[in-house]
Amino acid sequence: MKIDALLENMTLAEKLGQLTMTAAGHAVTGPVIAGDSVEALRTGTVGNVLNLIGADHVHSWQRLAVEESRLRIPLLFALDILHGYRTLFPIALAEAGLFDPASWAATARAAAVEAAAEGIALTFAPMLDIARDPRWGRMAEGPGEDPLVGCRMAEAKVRGFQGESLAGSGTLAATAKHFVGYAAVTAGREYAALELSERTLEEVHLPPFAAAVEAGVAAVMPAFTDLAGVPLTAHRRLLHDTLRERLGFDGVLVSDYNAIAELIQHGVAADEGEAAALSLKAGVDIDMMAGAYRRGLPVALQRGLVTMQEIDASVHRVLRLKERLGLFEDPFRRGARPDTAVALEERRRLAREVATRAIVMLTNTRDTLPLDPPPKRLAVLGPLADASAEMRGAWWAAAPAEGQVTLVQGLRDALPAAEIRHAAGVAIEGTETSGIAPALALCDGVDAVVLCLGEAAIMSGEAASRAHLDLPGAQRAFAEAALDRAHARGARVITVLFSGRPLVVPWLTARADAVLAAWFLGSEAGNALADVMTGRRSPSGRTAVTWPRALGQIPIFYAERPSGRPYARDNRYTTRYIDEPNEPLFPFGHGLTYGRFTLAGLRVSPSTPREHDTIEAQVEVANEGARHATETVFLFIRDKVARVTRPQLELKAFGSVTLAPGERKTLTLAVSAGELKYPGPDLEPIFDPGEIEILVGPAADRRCLLAATVRLAAG
Ligand code: BGC
């Protein structure tokens, strides 16, 4: 076949070219290749390119490869398309809060179509790191703290990016990253080494990657980090034995940026030759940006550290991916037809819809929201009220700084008759406070004050660990002054928090009349927020991650294992802090709506399920409020007596229902009993007969869950 014939014909340099991915940079004269020249494309010594934007550029480089290189092997163009390409959707952590796989898939599909229309063929997404430490900025990029959410998101994103066939002109190969455990970096500090038990790896961090593989993900990227003494880039046991052999992954492993060379800094390789050999042997096919395969593998071959067969196996996988992407058939298929204005508009509509549903209403005292009747005068203050670039979140791909809808714009459009006053007051960071007094003056005589506070887009994402999770800079001083002033004048204060992680702001949630978590909502941020604030839509987003009330509670997550000394209020010798409650500020799943939902009548059947049965939980959901709204309902389990200790709550299903005022419906949540297996004492999955509590409700808070019991039966 074609690939074998090609391989036979390739020189070592050409083979290593296929194992090399190099970044495009932008010079005044046009795009350039980092540390190289475009000559490398003609000679076939660079076979894959990241970060090149624009169909013209992509096609002109592709032409060099397929028309001028000896073997005419097409280039693979890759980019980080995490939550959109030009049209930005909410960051993954925000989108996770929809708890809706169909929407997760829809935004990936739309992003793929938009990026493929400019020649991109592979995205470094989805990011599937299960994150329980908000100091780590990359929590923003992924599904949050729960492995089931990670699995469902993995499947949906792979389906969305990759479409029906990888060869389609509107599809992208997806990359599940960062394999595996990266989110557990020590103290939340980016790139730090980490320790994880085998059990936590199996129960929490591996499942989303297994789900991505099951869904047919084309590529996987190992994490930068060292896991208990072995950097993932060189982790043969996890990359080869677990990922390839056990999970059956037969796609391409692409290293993270410069990660192969960094094996030298990690201290497991003395030079490029050793580094290249370690990662090739672990199963890494493509070297992103280290040049270590190009320079190091010839040395490693000479030293007998690797064989030509091992190199060939990787080249084969890369060529096979290019073939599956249809690149040999037509290297110009992607990018052949420019995007249409209609398609763009449709994507904007989707972006607004998803952004609206991603907003989490954290608090809403005395029905401060919605702003109904429409206010006559509003003060919209804070450094994030009119900051287009910040709306994009940490990975903005090709989205320009301008043209993202801010809240000031959104409110002006939604409330054309209202007087909307605006001042930033303070910058996102920094100590300058001279803008505070003039901003406070705008609070006089308004119906409400909207405070837009939080992080800059680049304060989360990669290389954005924070040791303090309060509002940065002078924002707290400004917010406290604005709260004093507005309340003294009888105006309510709505706070909109922009962030890539939960912030530790108990002082703020205690004082503001309503707080919305906006995360980073993307291109339509301001319209989505205005839709919710004016009551055109009810908020329905739920937080996919626990919000701590104090930094010292971190890591914090709902699925903690029990203690032998469970918390008791009047007993000091139980698991607790002496200076802070155990409870989070907001639990996983929290999010208010404009409806008033009650859940009742939980029925679970069958009562003695066997491994191949489906357990169905039915619950009556009623909206006793005065507004249309959507309620998300979670199904947790609790295995009280097991062979190993089990988490106090484990999410097994979720669903939602939209109800008009006064309406009620029965919601059914299903989980196959086989999914209640857990890794036993020797880490082999076991189906463990006995009692299981089924807990159903609106958040991971025992106090608001309905409970029933089933008894798992053997056989
Ligand atoms: C990040 C990856 C990303 C890559 C390419 C790295 O620094 O860790 O997530 O895909 O760069 O941009």
The residue whose C-alpha atom lies closest to atom 2 belonging to ligand 1 is 256
Q: Is 455 in the pocket of ligand 1 (CB under 6 A)?
A: no
Distances (CA, A) of 538 to 333, 350, 509: 42, 17, 20
> What is the reported pLDDT for 32?
80
How many angstroms separate the alpha carbon of residue 643 from the centre of ligand 1?
A: 40
Q: Which of 503, 498, 712, 682 is nearest to 612 (CA)?
A: 712
> What is the reported pLDDT for 6?
97
- Mean pLDDT in residue range 648-676: 98
How many angstroms separate the alpha carbon of residue 256 from the centre of ligand 1?
A: 6
Select the more confidently predicted residue: 544 or 26: 544
> What is the reported pLDDT for 604?
98
Q: Is 141 in the pocket of ligand 1 (CB under 6 A)?
A: no
User: Which residues are within 8 A (CB) of 118 and not within 5 positions of it... i.e. 6 or more apart?
Assistant: 53, 54, 55, 58, 85, 334, 335, 339, 398
Percent of the chain with pLDDT over 90: 97
Angle, vertex CA 679, rays to CA 674 and CA 684, nearest 5: 95
- Mean pLDDT in residue range 457-478: 98
In sequence order, what DSSP letters do the residues of 185-237 get, joined into one string? -GGG-TT--B---HHHIIIIIHHHHHHHHHTT-SEEEE-SSEETTEEGGG-HI
In sequence order, what DSSP letters do the residues of 375-400 get, joined into one string? PSEEEEESTTTT-GGGGG-S--TT--
Q: Quick check: 682 and 596 in contact, CB under 8 A?
A: no
The residue whose C-alpha atom lies closest to atom 5 belonging to ligand 1 is 257
> What is the reported pLDDT for 715?
80
Under the banding of pLDDT at 50, 70 and 90, the label for residue 671 is very high
Q: Is 80 in the pocket of ligand 1 (CB under 6 A)?
A: yes
pLDDT tens track for 373-415: 999 999 999 999 999 999 999 999 999 999 999 999 999 999 9
> What is the reported pLDDT for 31?
79
β-sheet with 650-659: strand ranges across? 650-659, 629-638, 690-697, 706-712
pLDDT tens track for 291-329: 999 999 999 999 999 999 999 999 999 999 999 999 999
pLDDT tens track for 69-103: 999 999 999 999 999 999 999 999 999 999 999 99
How far is CA 711 from its chain centroid?
36
How many angstroms separate the alpha carbon of residue 427 from the centre of ligand 1?
A: 28
Residue 289 CA: nearest ligand 1 atom is 5
Q: Is 124 in the pocket of ligand 1 (CB under 6 A)?
A: yes
Residue 51 CA: nearest ligand 1 atom is 12
Residue 125 CA: nearest ligand 1 atom is 10
> What is the reported pLDDT for 26?
76
- Mean pLDDT in residue range 54-60: 96
The residue whose C-alpha atom lies closest to atom 12 belonging to ligand 1 is 80
Number of CB atoms found within 10 A of residue 468's CB: 10
Continuous segment of H or E residues that includes residue 26: strand 20-27
Continuous segment of H or E residues that includes residue 622: strand 614-623
How many angstroms separate the alpha carbon of residue 122 from the centre of ligand 1?
A: 13
How many angstroms separate the alpha carbon of residue 450 from the centre of ligand 1?
A: 36
Let me know if 256 is a catalytic residue: yes
> What is the reported pLDDT for 171?
98
Q: Please pick, among 80, 256, 285, 386, the residue that the annotation labels catalytic.
A: 256
pLDDT tens track for 677-713: 999 999 999 999 999 999 999 999 999 999 999 999 9
- Classify 460 as helix, strand or coil: coil
Residue 175 CA: nearest ligand 1 atom is 10
Q: Is 191 in the pocket of ligand 1 (CB under 6 A)?
A: no
Pairing of strands 360-364, 514-517: antiparallel
Q: Is 177 in the pocket of ligand 1 (CB under 6 A)?
A: yes
Q: Poorest-confidence range of 18-27, 428-437, 443-452?
A: 18-27
pLDDT tens track for 245-277: 999 999 999 999 999 999 999 999 999 999 999
Pocket test for ligand 1, best of 50, 124, 287 (most atoms within 8 A of CB): 124
Q: Is 462 in the pocket of ligand 1 (CB under 6 A)?
A: yes
> Is the whole-model pTM more than 0.95?
yes
Q: Is 386 in the pocket of ligand 1 (CB under 6 A)?
A: no
The residue whose C-alpha atom lies closest to atom 11 belonging to ligand 1 is 257
> What is the reported pLDDT for 1?
59
The residue whose C-alpha atom lies closest to atom 4 belonging to ligand 1 is 257
